[in-house]
Chain A
Amino acid sequence: MELKAENITFSYNKRPILKDVTLSLESNQIVGLIGDSGSGKSTLCKILSGHIPNYKGNVRIEGKEIEQKGFYPVQLIFQHPEKTMNPKWKMEKVLKESWNPPQELKDTFGLKENWMNRWPNELSGGELQRFSILRAINPNTKFIIADEISTMLDAVTQVQIWEALINHCKANNIGILAVSHDIKLLDVICDEVLYFDEINHI
């Protein structure tokens, strides 16, 4: 399966930020994307995952437009998990908003049973990020857009999270677009690294 974005152009209030961005991602691939802060990487991620609708260009899977209704097959994982969760929901509800993952998968991601009854503000960034990743790898997910998902985590947690995510995605044929500033990290985990300056013709 191929996720393809063609000639994406977007501007915030007439301030152009993306111009003619084209990139493609295969299901069995992990592609890295690196670029300066403020250059529009996160905007591109939001467009790919359907969070920003009014852009020019198109995003297709296998040449077909993505169905706007129902579960969106391209899922975005954010840098700050605490901002993506309802502060008044306990973790169990946060997770089940997407699906109820099998115990085995919870173990792979190191989710402890006693975290389920906690509120989001009672867990650390690393712990919350495990939830937000597990939430994103719903069985209907075909592609994962990982926008700086390990930037706020310590090195040990970073390895744990990437290992678990990559193993799961390889086994289930899910493609990953990994956005980061850390070129050393991308070199280790990615099949291919794209430079944002080279694909954004602004």
Chain B
Amino acid sequence: MEKLLEVNNLSISFTQYVQGLNRNESKVISDLTIDVNENEIVAILGSSGSGKSLLAHSILGILPYNSHVTGTLKFKGKTLNQEIKEELRGHEICLIPQSVNFLDPLMKVSDQAIGECENEEEYNRKKIKQREVFSKYGLNESVDDLYPFELSGGMARKVLLSTALLNDPDLLIADEPTPGLDSKSVEETIEDIKNLKEKGKGVLLITHEIDVALKTADRIAIFYSGYVIEINKAENFKNKENILHPYTNALINALPENGFKLTEGVQPLDIVEGCPYYENCPIRLEKCENTKPELIDHNGIMIRCFNFKEANDGT
């Protein structure tokens, strides 16, 4: 199995002007390592505001000018720089953006889905495919000529899906493709993502809908406050004992079908010295406050927590 995407020690920070000429550096992703193989779906689950979308944007090279990125990104073994990213995006790497605001308000939705074409022949070919994809999602022909403001939230979301699927990418980055969709369309989306995998492609699925992640992914990475705190096999999520990190547990227990259990606390806004989950952690140790745990391998599960490091060292 070949590695499609490798992300090593990626950190992203932003420079902001606070007052006058005073600048403030805020770090949003720290030391992130993740990979996607061919024929594999990796889901990224995490709290909102934990930096999930920024990861997607950095792979495509569409971060704003005041961002600062360190670490390496590789696609099919080739290190990515801005030039290569621009070449690949839209062809080999496609993004389903998170917000329906990404649609061009002044362009008919069918033309947005088709995208740029070199000649009439290409346009006609893509037009047929666009119609196919649209009708699969229940968007009938009258929708083709509408502008984004005339669509409901769910319909706009379907248009975004179609734009990415039309290009047949090798790596699909789906940034929250399902919220606001009715259950039939969610099933359809899951099917499409799985189909890509069957064809040997890779998918990085960014979501907070645990259900969707469980149904599609092979591996699931959990994000918290800009850190990967756990990477686990999807099948392990069926049995709570195989979930290691306390935040992952809180996520699973908060699902309506698992008891809708309340966990207090929000993630820290500022950079913390110790473990990012220290403030809310039920099993914290003294050293967690000031020392940051590393991401370690614990019986094939990647985990960032001292509790497991201790257990591992002991054996």
Contact surface of A with B, Cβ cutoff 8 Å: 12, 35-39, 42, 79-80, 83, 110, 112, 114-115, 123-127, 148, 151-160, 162-163, 181-185, 187-189
Contacts and interface: CB of A to CB of B under 8 A. Distances in A.
B262 A160 contact: yes
B200 interface: no
Nearest to A43: B152
Nearest to A180: B180
B208 A153 contact: yes
Given A110-B266, A159-B263, A126 B257 contact: no
B256 A37 contact: no
Nearest to B150: A12
B154 A158 contact: no
Given A114-B269, A160-B264, A152 B153 contact: no
Interface residues of B, number: 43
Contacts of A112: 266, 269
B298 interface: no
A110 B45 CA distance: 22
B254 interface: yes
B102 interface: no
A1 B212 CA distance: 39
6 contacts: A37-B152, A37-B185, A112-B269, A154-B46, A155-B251, A160-B262
Contacts of B263: 156, 159-160
Contacts of B125: none
B255 to A, nearest CB: 5
A115 to B, nearest CB: 7
A163 to B, nearest CB: 5
B77 interface: no
Given A37-B152, A148-B180, A182-B256, A154 B47 contact: yes
B304 interface: no
B152 A187 contact: no
Contacts of B84: none
B190 interface: no
B157 interface: yes
B48 A154 contact: yes
Nearest to B101: A83
Interface in B141-167: 150-155, 157-158
A35 B182 contact: yes
A42 B49 contact: no
A185 B256 contact: yes
Given A124-B49, A126-B266, A157-B48, 11 more contacts: A12-B150, A37-B182, A37-B185, A38-B155, A110-B264, A151-B179, A153-B208, A156-B47, A156-B250, A156-B263, A181-B186
B183 interface: yes
A185 B276 CA distance: 29
Nearest to A186: B256
A34 B223 CA distance: 30
Contacts of A152: 48, 176, 179, 208
A188 B255 CA distance: 10
B48 A159 contact: no
Contact of A38 (B99, B154, B269): B154
B153 A155 contact: no
